[in-house]
Structure 1
Amino acid sequence: MSPSRQSVEQALGRLGALHPKVIDLSLGRIIDLLGKLGNPHLSLPPVLHVAGTNGKGSVVATCRAMAEAAGLRVHSYISPHLVRFNERIRIQGRLIDDEALVALLDEVEQSNAGAPITFFEITTAAAFLAFARVPADLCLLEVGLGGRLDATNVIDRPAAIAITPISLDHQSFLGNRLDQIAAEKAGIIKPHVPAIFGPQTAQAAAVLQQTAQSLSAPYQIYGRDWRAALHKDKAGVMKLLYQDQKDRLELPAPILHGPHQAANAGIAIALLRAQQAVDVPLAALRAGLGWVRWPGRLQKLEAGPLVDRLPPGADLWLDGGHNPAAARILRAALLQMAPETRPIIAIIGMMGNRDPSSFIKPLQGLVQTVYGVPIPSAEHPCAPSKIATAASQCGLRGLVASGVAGALDAIAHEASAEPPLVLITGSLYLAGEVLAENGHIPD
């Protein structure tokens, strides 16, 4: 580990010890710290703010690709990271380097002066400070958790906001009912600021619409005001058909895998068309669909030491999905990717606060075998035996492996005549470990 990388890890360790809880939703602490830093959040480039349960990272990545294709300088802030913390903060499109990150973290730590503050809050303040100091044309912010009390929600007047599909997740913080969770996500809607709503259940949509109406925020609903779907053109080439109240556009299919990426791309397009701060022409929308990269989300691993453990012809896919809605998305993608005769095997590692059964159930009748594996980097992972037991209870073959490499070796040892499709999933933490072990460091 280089001295600068070691300094980054040390600084992050100190910041993580400033509050006894990992999550303690509040805006008071970050507002106080931002005041000590000179309120950098008031000097950001035009902001696009994205919340939701699943898909918000894909929307941010797609917006960034399209804006950069238009020649714009773009800052972006996402969470969590997969391998290195630097992934969270992009300045003019580039990951912040270690030296700049260390200096930034030291500065916010000194200004905070030991006051209780969560890791996400103080690092969000650091991102705002970095963004305020470097000129850019656009700033993309992904909500960390919820919306209303998320540290990113100190932006009073974004250029536009988007809310991706909402489902049950993080109930201990956001509520046990879908309308409660939707109300928290709706907290990023601002008066008179354009809002784009992705596909929603009727219950969630009602909450979002009511909030937007109460704030006089112009809003666009998926299926009514805009829509996006994949279809084949006359030559049999897959395309993205996007339509809103102004235009009907036939665009290249998103390079990101999975049928759900049509809606995510549509949200990004609708968001960029709703904001008035910068110009993103049609040519940039087209180019961005082919440029976008979003590691760990239905990503095919083409080469590397983990791939080499499988027999020839086997495919290895990685996805950080960790809730039932994500599992349903994975099922739809797998149905498109694998013929009926091809064996599908899942390697699943999850956090201890997740329910393996609810994640595995949508995969019934499709996945044949599940290997439960640990997540070494996680403080409170789900026991692999619990995952294997849940798989068995769902009618799948549930097994335990010492890790991803061990599971791949076992799969190779049992290889059938038709090489399997292997999916590693269940946690973004696991996805990060897999990328690092296979030599894929996001840049």
Structure 2
Amino acid sequence: MRLRTYSDAVKALNTLQSNFATVEAIRKSGNRKNVKTLLEMYEWTRRMGYKEEEFDKLNIIHVTGTKGKGSTCSFVESIISQYKDGKRISKIGLYTSPHLKSVRERIVINGKSISEELFTKYFFEVWDRLSTTESDLNEFPELGTGVKPLYFKYLTLLSFHIFMKEGVNTAIYEVGVGGELDSTNIIHCPTACGISSLGIDHTFMLGNTIEEIAWNKAGIFKKGTSAFTVPQVPEAIKVIIDRAKEKEVKSFQIIEPRSDLKEIKLGIPGIFQIGNASLACALASAHLTKLGFENVDISTTLPAEFIKGLEETTLMGRCQLIKEGDNINWYIDGAHTKESVKVSANWFKSVSKRNKRVLMFNQQTRDYETLIKILYNNVYPDITFDHVIFTTNVTWSSGDYSADLVSMNTNKDSVDKLEVQKNLAEIWNELDKNSRKHIFHDIQTSVNFTRSLEGPIDVFVCGSLHLVGGFLVVLDGDNKLQA
């Protein structure tokens, strides 16, 4: 039998993506997730050889929200890493999404993405178990022979398997979408749960109102668990409080931004990160207390370990600066929601100091018209762009995607015809007649064009994590770049 490689694993994983037609059919039907989603996750777990209660030994912190949940998870992971004692905490797992350059970024142990070797080994262990076990077709008619979970569900199951096999005893899980019916919500007894800032997003799955979205997000709360949220609009807070009572949480607290964090240089830049860092401190404190650590009270001042963890936190593709010699400053942020694009635009406005500027933007699947207008309204008239580039998320000028970035849930015909990019250019032209607009079919060509411009320049890359991921892949290997 031929040895199966990492490339084989990625190719197999990509077959589990929902294609564009399927995603659109679900979106148009208004058929939101139902409880069957979780029942199937429990069934896949059984077929893998686990009971969901076994995952309690991972000591999981569960985090959801519309924006900031990834940053919150990274802050939590960095804080807790300061308390590794080889016993209560020896291996820390982090499960987040989406990935930027490599799918292995989603599954991290002690601050490092799982290696290609281990990813491949465990990927095919799960694959083979699900291939050789069966479900009761009367109860699960859609789980016939050979059927596998969809992409995100599979990676969620894989993360549990990896963390169990590798002896992880603290894990931080970022929700994929929503909470109540998200595939991560098979967690039985987390040590703490948190909700970052909420907004209107994924409406075809979660609902059209902030109340519906808050109800979904608070679905991760569990009986006897400490639960936290950052301040939300009153309508959302009311729903979250009601859900906390319904779920019988141990305690519930609204975490206001900490004033003392203004004196700390957070590892993830941006004044808005203070709210995420404050939530992370509360989650980490509750977790460490539950594990028996002392002197982790944060009610008055932060322990030195917390401060060190916050300062050392890193998160690729979020408010990230990469310098290319003295000529180009690349300012990179994967903002892709209304709220996050506004925050990202204000971040760029606060850090860009050069007179010549370039915008590189794409958003292939969401309301790109609204997002580009939000970006414009939050930088102009303080910031103007000399050049504005609209590109697809295709990685290379050859027309290929990087293997880990293959996406089947976009309309290939639309991408090939540059439909979104042409529409974006028209919208921008109505907003700004002075900047020069450029449309490119791929990220590599966009980067090469930018490098051909006379500098020095500040370049703002935003609108999509998929764009940022492909951008970082293109930049990889260039030793002139400094993060």
Q: TM-score range by the shorter chain?
A: 0.7 to 0.9
The normalised TM-score by structure 1 is 0.84
Counterpart of 1:60 in structure 2 is 73
The equivalent residue for 1:269 is 281
Q: Which moved more, 1:354-363 or 1:198-207?
A: 354-363
**CA deviation map 1:311-345 (0-9, x unaligned):** x4542111111111111111331232135x74543
What percentage of residue pairs aligned between the two structures are identical? Answer: 23
CA offsets per residue over residues 350-403 of structure 1, 9 Å max, x none?
123332333432432144333211111444256211222222233464623314
More displaced stretch, 354-363 vs 189-198: 354-363
Q: Does the alignment pair 1:171 with 2:203?
A: yes
Do residues 285 (structure 1) and 285 (structure 2) align? no
Equivalent positions of 1:10-409 (< 5 A) are 10-16=11-17, 21=22, 25=33, 26-39=37-50, 41-44=52-55, 45-71=58-84, 72=89, 73-113=91-131, 114-217=146-249, 218-223=251-256, 227-229=257-259, 240-241=261-262, 252-275=264-287, 276-278=289-291, 279=293, 281=296, 282-302=303-323, 307=324, 312-339=326-353, 342-364=355-377, 365=380, 366-369=382-385, 370-376=388-394, 377=401, 378-379=407-408, 380=410, 383-395=420-432, 397=435, 399-402=437-440, 403-408=442-447
**Contact 1:390–1:398 (Cα < 8 Å) also in 2:** no
Q: Decide which moves more: 6-15 or 383-392.
A: 6-15
Unaligned runs of 5+ in 2: 27-31, 132-145, 297-302, 395-400, 402-406, 479-483
1:78-118: CA deviation from partner (whole Å, max 9, x where unpaired): 11111111111123443222222222222222232323521
What is the RMSD computed on CA atoms of the aligned residues? 2.8
SS of match in other structure, 1:153: coil
Letter aligned with residue 273 of structure 2: Q
* Counterpart secondary structure, 2:213: helix
3-state secondary structure, aligned to 1:300: strand
1:427 paired residue number: 464
Secondary structure of the residue that 1:151 maps to in structure 2? coil
Determine the structure 2 residue equivalent to 1:236: none
CA distance in 2, matches of 1:94, 1:353: 31
Cα 1:406–1:102, aligned 2, differ >3 Å: closer, same or farther?
closer
Secondary structure of 2:80's partner? helix
- Is the CA contact (8 Å cut-off) linking 1:19 and 1:116 kept in structure 2? no
Q: Secondary structure at the match of 1:176?
A: coil
TM-score by length of 2: 0.77
Q: Which moved more, 1:111-120 or 1:20-29?
A: 20-29
Cα separation, 1, equivalents of 2:18 and 2:461: 31
1:136-189 deviations in whole A, cap 9, x for unaligned?
331110001111111100012100001100111111211121211111111111
- Measure how far apart 1:423 and its partner are: 0.7
Q: How many Å apart are 1:39 and its aligned residue? A: 2.0
CA deviations 1:389-420 (Å, max 9, x no partner) are: 2222334646233144544555566657xx44
Higher relative contact order (CA 8 A, sep 6+): 2
Asked if structure 2 preserves the Cα contact closer than 8 Å seen for 1:191 and 1:216, the reply is yes
Corresponding letter in the other structure for 1:300: L
Question: Residue 258 of structure 2: SS of its match in structure 1?
Answer: strand
The one-letter code of the counterpart of 1:324 is K
Letter in 1 for 2:389: Y
Change (3 A) 1:389 1:29: same
On the 8 A contact 1:40/1:128 being kept in 2, the answer is no
Amino acid at match of 1:175: G
In the aligned structure 1, how far is the partner of 2:75 from the partner of 2:447? Answer: 32
| 8 Å CA contact retained: 1:346, 1:367 | no
Contact 2:101 2:469 in 1 (8 A): yes
Where 1:301 maps in the other structure, the secondary structure is: strand
- Relative to 1, partners in 2 of residues 1:137 and 1:283: Cα closer, same or farther, differing over 3 Å? farther
Letter of the structure 1 residue corresponding to residue 376 of structure 2: L
Q: Is the 8 A contact 1:19 1:117 kept in 2?
A: no
CA deviation digits over 1:199-252, x for unaligned, max 9? 3222222211221122232111133xxx324xxxxxxxxx615xxxxxxxxx62
Report how many aligned residue pairs link the two structures.
409
| Cα displacement (A) at 1:18 | 11
Structure 1 unaligned residues grouped into runs of 5+: 230-238, 242-250
Partners of 2:153 and 2:20 in 1: CA distance: 10
Q: Is the 8 A contact 1:40 1:132 kept in 2?
A: no
| Cα distance in 2, alignment partners of residues 17 and 348 from structure 1 | 25
- Alpha-carbon distance in structure 2 between the residues aligned to 1:367 and 1:428: 23
How has the CA–CA distance of structure 1 residues 191 and 21 changed in structure 2, closer, same or farther, with 3 Å as cutoff? farther
Q: Is the 8 A contact 1:66 1:289 kept in 2?
A: yes
State how far apart, in whole Å, the 1-side matches of 2:49 and 2:474 are.
41
* Contact 2:336-2:371 within 8 A present in 1 as well: no
Do the aligned residues in 2 keep the contact of 1:258 with 1:333 (CA within 8 Å)? yes
> Residues 294 and 383 from structure 1, CA distance in 2 versus in 1: closer, same or farther, beyond 3 angstroms?
same
